[in-house]
Amino acid sequence: MDIMDEKKMVTLSVEDGPWTGCAVLFLRSCPAVNLLSLYKDQQGKFSVFKVLKLTLTDSAGGLEGYEILKLHDADPLLGVEVKFVDVAACRRFLQSYGSGAVQQSLSQHACRLLHGTQELALETQLKAGTHTLDFCLDDLELCLQHIHQSQPGRLRDDEIAELDQQLQSQALGHIPQPPTLSQEEPPVPSNCFLFQKRVFEDRILAAGDLQRFSNGVGRDWRKVGRALGKNCRALKGPAIDNLAYEYEREGLYEQAYQLLNRFIQAEGRAARLGRLVRALEDSKLTSLAENILDIQPRE
């Protein structure tokens, strides 16, 4: 069998039928910010997991197509074992990793979520079984084949499942305001916002918000972008049209995703749920705001 025939078999094996595979991303950060030590610390564990989850969401193109199975203590390295269940998501991750976007996203999210982190110096290595994928990133099909051959030998770790559930709860959590007999509107706390006469926690936008927005906004993403751009320099001028042109081939989901992701990256801790909800209200998209806030439709 010659090389071309072998490559055809590799491509067919990763494109046809159900597809799963496993890879481990090893991370080593500078002594000032040790991701492994932070993860071992009970208070830092959730923040590190959130950084990793957001990074994978960025690089895989959404919340679907992968799951974190376990975080390994490979002192001085932190190993992130990832199961892929969608070849397209896996390919996007490999492309992001090869371009350096994964490292950049890790650094950005760490600086935003890990207290006291100004800059994160990272060394990374990506492995699938005995294969080090860093040596063959110029051949994506071969990398996909190695990942596909490295089938996960475990279920998701209980600790990871709990952290994932905690992250989802944080993304969907809200504070309902009980009815009052008084005609006066109760004061809204500084860390909350009012929507449809209910008080919600004004938290930082999370991965779940990003997915719900991207799935639901459709062609109105530009309208929301202009509403957000009133108070966000990164979305002013030609920025929205540039996003539309750059991600035209990927479709509306990716255009909306990149819009809100740019807002989050530019605004940091100021990229809060209340600002997105107000922009949706301004754009007459209250049903999408209700979906993001997990407000159940009335009977």
Q: Check residue 85 and report its DSSP letter.
A: -
What's the pLDDT at 173? 55
How far is residue 31's CA from residue 16's CA, in Å, rounded to a whole number?
44
Question: According to the model, what pLDDT value does residue 6 have?
Answer: 42
Alpha carbons 11 and 74: distance in angstroms, whole number: 33
pLDDT score for 42: 78
Of 195, 270, 196, 189, the C-alpha closest to 228 is 270
Name the helix (H) or strand (E) containing 70.
Answer: strand 66-74
**67, two tokens:** 């799951």
Q: What is the pLDDT of residue 175?
A: 42
What is the per-residue pLDDT for 118?
A: 60
The list of the chain residues with pLDDT below 70 reads 1-17, 31-32, 115-120, 171-187, 296-299
pLDDT for 105: 84
Q: Is 189 left (phi over 0), alpha (psi -120 to 50) or beta?
A: beta
pLDDT at residue 63, rounded to an integer: 78
pLDDT at residue 101, rounded to an integer: 87
Secondary structure tally for the chain: helices H, strands E: 13, 7
pLDDT of residue 115: 67
Q: How many CB atoms lie within 10 A of CB 196?
A: 12
Q: How far apart are alpha carbons 14 and 29 in whole angstroms?
A: 33
pTM: 0.53
Find the Cα–Cα–Cα–Cα dihedral 255, 256, 257, 260, rounded to 10°: 120
Quick one: 160 exposed, middle or buried, by C-beta within 10 A (0-12, 13-18, 19+)?
Answer: buried
Contact 72, 85 (CB under 8 A): no
